[in-house]
Structures are given as structure tokens and as C-alpha cells.
Structure 1
């Protein structure tokens, strides 16, 4: 195995924003806001795409208006199939950038362009390029949670739902892999495939807060519950899972597994879809390191929380939160994304 240097192991500083405090809407106000959003979507010939980690109201709005609620892989696919000329992406910035990379002729808007990601923030393109240049004999595989510039330096882009088969495919060819940015997901893939992998030192602020000792206590209280874990979580949490998988795989598990209770270790935004497809099941959030002021995320991404009905309506009115990508970067980033999508089709 190839091991990173002490310099490589230094984590990049991340500034985690506080969760935004959106004014609460009364039921009547919410109904009126949603009606205005429907009218604006129709007027702008726009389609709404929301990630599973966004607010319940946004996921509901996407489905009610003929858009889509999905993980990042399906979000990427959806943009290429819809006839809408404007895509409104409720999620974090790399999702909007991926939509623009795949659909350069379409306008891509987001409620807040400042909604980024700790994995993206922790993998700046200049430092990552230098890291790749120092290991030219490695195939570069980057997680979707990265900037367009980082994707442009990669050979492959993967999401959590396709990372295992892609790396297994590369390992079978004897390729050494440089992986970025999530070290927990990278180590999980490394353990499952036996691939020779060099890992960038990044982590998700949500999943890193799940703690094994606290999960053990919850499991004792709910001995019949199945434990569902996203592989961005630390090894000690993953090792307690009955199922490890992407957001889509975890959602399917709630409806397909026979258990009546589930302990879920991923962003709490996923519970809306889980409740929708399995209303008779009991869902228990996996515990984080702390509560309130003592935790960074409290199991909900602060950047995802920047999406709300209020700024969704605003961006549809103004169009001022539009994704733009340098054409040269877009062309280079398109290659590893297309490689992933073609692999997924095969």
C-alpha cells in the first residue's frame, strides 16, 4: 500500500457556518409561498431538483411540481433528461456545478451559491493538483463532493452509490488509486475492495460526528433495530451497521428490510423520504458527539440548511444565484463525470 506523507495528512481548515435561522411560516403563509413558486417555475420553464438532505418543504415542492428528489448521482442524470431550460438545484454547490457541467446550454440556479460542503472546502484545487502531480503513477478518483476544478484534474468521478464497483474495476486492472476527498469513504472502499489507495485527508462534518460509543448505547435500547450507516462515517460506526450504503440505498432498506425500527446514521434530511415510503416504520437518529452548541452539525448539514422556500422564491424572481463555470474547466470535468455515467449504464 502507498501511504501519504505527514504533510498530506494535515487536515485543511474548514469554517463551518451556523445553521441559518429562517423565519417560520404559518400554514397559510407556506401555502401562499408554494403557490408563488409554482407560478414562477412555470413562467421560467424551470424544474426543481432537491437532494434528500434538504428541508422537507423543498423535497415536497420538487415532487409536487414534477421535479425530482434524489441523491447526487440521480440528480446528475435528471438534468440531462428533463426538457426544462432552467434547472433549480436545491442542495450544495457541487451539485449545481455538476448539473451545469452536464447541461452547459441550460441555466442552472441555486437558492444560495454560498451553500458549499466541508469535503469541497477541504480539498482546494491548487493543493489537490500538487498532490496529484506528486503521485503521477496513480489513477485519480474523486468523490462527487468536490469543485469543478478538482473534477477537472480527475480520471474518474464517483458517488457513494457507485464508488465500490468503480474502484473494484480499477483494482482488477492493477491500478493504484489516488482518492479524494473523504478519507472515511475512501477507507471503507479500500477495505471492501483491497485496492491500493492513497487517501486525501477530508471528512464530512455531519458524518464524522457520529460516535461509536453513543451508537452502542442506542443499540442496547433498541436491540431489534437495524443500523443503517452512510460510508462517510468513521470505521467504528460503519462496523456496527447492518447495512452500509448511499442515501438511495439506505432509503430502500427502510422499505425492504423486515425490521420495524431503524437507527439511521446520516443527515437527518433523509427522514422525510424514509417516512414517505415506509410510514409504518420507526426511525431513530444515530447520536452525534453533542447537542446544540456542542456539535458542529447535529446530524444536519449547515450548508444544506441554506436552502429554504424563501430564497427559492427569491432566486426564481431574480435569477441572481446562477452557476457559471469556465468552459475549459467544464470540458475537462465532463470527461470523468461521463466516464462514471457510462460505467453506471453498463
Structure 2
């Protein structure tokens, strides 16, 4: 068995994207030209998540948009002068953008693109769970609906979750965490805080297998293992770096290793290869005992974002994101709490450096 056939390298991983196969090179370029013109016509800017297809990330960069994690997508939209934000990602990202930018029109290529973490955390059931544990501070991951955010005390992203929970623990507060049990378990183990976990998981990250990664390490002994903390504990435990999307990208760029086994959505490979073109990125395997698919390393809902529906939404104005005003005001409170905390943390760090 050769190294090339055993793993999926970055140069090959886009082959599973249906639109890339269905559209010819000429059609793709025609759609890109049309979208660029429509963005200008609609005074719109495209913000794309790291997990969307390479062609959408490339298009966002070419048109002065943004490629980032969900929080930076919304923050970028807030600072950009465009009156319309086009969010290529999943629905909670569009909602977050609308919560932070109520005066702007927020469009998505499709409102059908959702998230297993969002689906698995029903607002009514979650609210009842919170009521049962009213002595706990409610911390929810960004991958949740506006209604769930509105019930929370804090909203966090994976990049700031440890800092927030550590801060709360120092204040003597007990935490109720939702929805991702693996990320929550990682936060609990790392901080030592009293954390009660909601039982949710990401269908992409849950499929990564520690044994498969260790087997792959025999073929790539010098490869560093990069893992998103939404992965099972057994996978996190063998990682060289555990972090958010932006933290994993930074590690890939700065580490001396020439090869990386990456346990997160394969859409991240576009940015990794862009910043480290001379390095090799290998998709962490999901096949093996207990796996339900050969390779689950790409979110099926992220894959619903494409050139065709992006062009259509810009043309028609359909697929607009709305958030009830009363709900938006409640959800804004924990989001602002996180943003203020993040800003203070950055300021403190810059002061120490200075």
C-alpha cells in the first residue's frame, strides 16, 4: 500500500465536491464573473467560512470579502461598509451576522444549510434543561440557533472557549455547556472547571478515529497531527495541536513540519495550502471500526453552498436571513459579552508585549 493511495492529499480532496464536477471550467468562470458584477450592483460583500469550497473562498478573497471562522465573518460584516452581507456557510452563521448587523441585509446561498449541533439543541428542550440547573452559568457554542443563544449567558467560539470557562471558574461559577459534548469535555478537562454537558456532537468531527490516525502516522512518521476539539477525546489525546480553525491554520503555517494529518473539515485545506504551499496536508481517516462512512471529513450542509445558488440569491434577493427583534436583542447580550471579553484579552496581551 503506497502513501498516495492510503490517504487523501490536499491536491485531491476537492474531487468530492459535486458542483466542481458538474460545472466546466468555462461555466465556473462565467459564474464567477456574474457574481462579481452582482456583488457590485447590490453593494454586497461575500463572507465565506473556512469549510466552504475552495472556489467560494477564492471568490470571497478576490472580491474584497472575508474567509474566516463564524465570529470573524460576522465581525467583518459589521465593519465593512457594504449594505448587504452574503454569508456562505450554514444558517447559524447567517443568524449571527444578522444579530450583530441588524441594519444590514443578510443573504445566504441557501437557508437549508444547517448544522448537526444546531439541530441537536432544540431551543425549548434546552431552555427546560437550563431551568433544571438554574444555579449554573449557561455557555453555548456559536454553532447554535438565535433562540438558544438568547437563553445563554455567554456565547463562545472554539478559539475563546477555554479562556471564558477558565474566567468563570475563577469567579467560582459552575457552567452549563451546550451543545458539543466533545468540545465541552475538552474544555472541562483542560480547565478543571465544574461543567455540565449537553449531549450533542458534530457529524463530521465525531467520525474521526484515533486508530486510523495512528495507522496513518506509521506512513507519515514526521507528520504533525492537527485536531479540532469537536473531535472525540481519543483523537484529541493524540494531537500535536488542538485548536479552532484559525488556530490550526496558524499552526500549519508556523510549525516546521512538512506534513500534517488534519482532523477537521477538509475545506480548511484551501487556506492551509495557500499559506503553506510547500507543505502536504492529509485528511485524517474516518474509516475503521465503528465508522459509518468511508470519509466524512466534509460537512454536507457546507457543501450546499455553490456558485449557482450564490448567483441566484444575489439576483433575486431570496434566502434572506431574518431574526425576530426581541430574540435578536436577547441573543446580542451573550454575543457582546464574548466580544468585549475577547477585546479586553487582546488589549491585555498587546500591553504585555509592548
SS at match of 2:22: coil
Q: Tell me, in whole angstroms, the C-alpha distance in 2 between the residues paired with 1:163 and 1:67.
A: 26
- Tell whether 2:340 aligns with 1:342: yes
Alignment partner, residue 181 of structure 2: 183
Could you say if the C-alpha distance between residues 120 and 297 of structure 1 is closer, same or farther in structure 2, counting changes exceeding 3 Å?
Answer: farther
Alignment partner, residue 234 of structure 2: 236
- What is the CA distance between 1:248 and its match in structure 2? 0.3
- Tell whether 2:209 aligns with 1:216: no
TM-score by length of 2: 0.90
- What is the CA distance between 1:107 and its match in structure 2? 0.2
- What is the CA distance between 1:289 and its match in structure 2? 3.0
Alignment partner, residue 65 of structure 1: 63
Query: Deviations for 1:130-186, whole angstroms, at most 9, x for unmatched residues?
Result: 000000000000000000000000000000000000000000001000000000000
- What is the CA distance between 1:28 and its match in structure 2? 1.3
Alignment partner, residue 284 of structure 2: 286
Q: Tell me, in whole angstroms, the C-alpha distance in 1 between the residues paired with 2:322 and 2:295.
A: 29
- What is the CA distance between 1:76 and its match in structure 2? 2.1
Alignment partner, residue 118 of structure 2: 120
- What is the CA distance between 1:302 and its match in structure 2? 0.3
Alignment partner, residue 257 of structure 1: 255
SS at match of 2:340: helix
Query: Deviations for 1:40-73, whole angstroms, at most 9, x for unmatched residues?
Result: 0000000000000001110000000000000112
Alignment partner, residue 78 of structure 1: 76
Alignment partner, residue 102 of structure 2: 104
Query: Deviations for 1:59-105, whole angstroms, at most 9, x for unmatched residues?
Result: 00000000000011211211110000000000000000000000011
Alignment partner, residue 10 of structure 1: none
Q: Tell me, in whole angstroms, the C-alpha distance in 2 between the residues paired with 1:290 and 1:298.
A: 12
Q: 4+ residue runs of structure 1 moved beyond 4 angstroms?
A: none
SS at match of 1:78: helix
Q: Tell me, in whole angstroms, the C-alpha distance in 1 between the residues paired with 2:293 and 2:122.
A: 25
Q: Tell me, in whole angstroms, the C-alpha distance in 1 between the residues paired with 2:17 and 2:209.
A: 25
Query: Deviations for 1:208-262, whole angstroms, at most 9, x for unmatched residues?
Result: 0001111110011111110000000000000000000000000011110000110
Q: Is contact 1:290-1:298 (8 Å) kept? A: no
Alignment partner, residue 168 of structure 1: 166
Q: Is contact 1:109-1:321 (8 Å) kept? A: yes
Alignment partner, residue 16 of structure 1: none
Alignment partner, residue 327 of structure 1: 325
Alignment partner, residue 136 of structure 2: 138
Structure having the higher helix fraction is 2
SS at match of 2:67: strand
Structure 2: where are the runs of 5+ without partners?
1-15, 345-354
Structure 1: where are the runs of 5+ without partners?
1-18
TM-score by length of 1: 0.92
SS at match of 1:198: strand
Equivalences for residues 26-65 of structure 1 within 5 A:
26-65=24-63
Q: Tell me, in whole angstroms, the C-alpha distance in 1 between the residues paired with 2:219 and 2:256.
A: 19
Q: Tell me, in whole angstroms, the C-alpha distance in 2 between the residues paired with 1:221 and 1:139.
A: 45
RMSD: 1.5
Q: Is contact 1:205-1:297 (8 Å) kept? A: no
Q: Tell me, in whole angstroms, the C-alpha distance in 1 between the residues paired with 2:174 and 2:315.
A: 48
Q: Is contact 1:20-1:306 (8 Å) kept? A: no
- What is the CA distance between 1:188 and its match in structure 2? 0.2
- What is the CA distance between 1:321 and its match in structure 2? 0.1
Q: Tell me, in whole angstroms, the C-alpha distance in 2 between the residues paired with 1:275 and 1:33.
A: 24
- What is the CA distance between 1:297 and its match in structure 2? 6.3
Q: Tell me, in whole angstroms, the C-alpha distance in 2 between the residues paired with 1:210 and 1:90.
A: 25
Q: Is contact 2:90-2:114 (8 Å) kept? A: yes
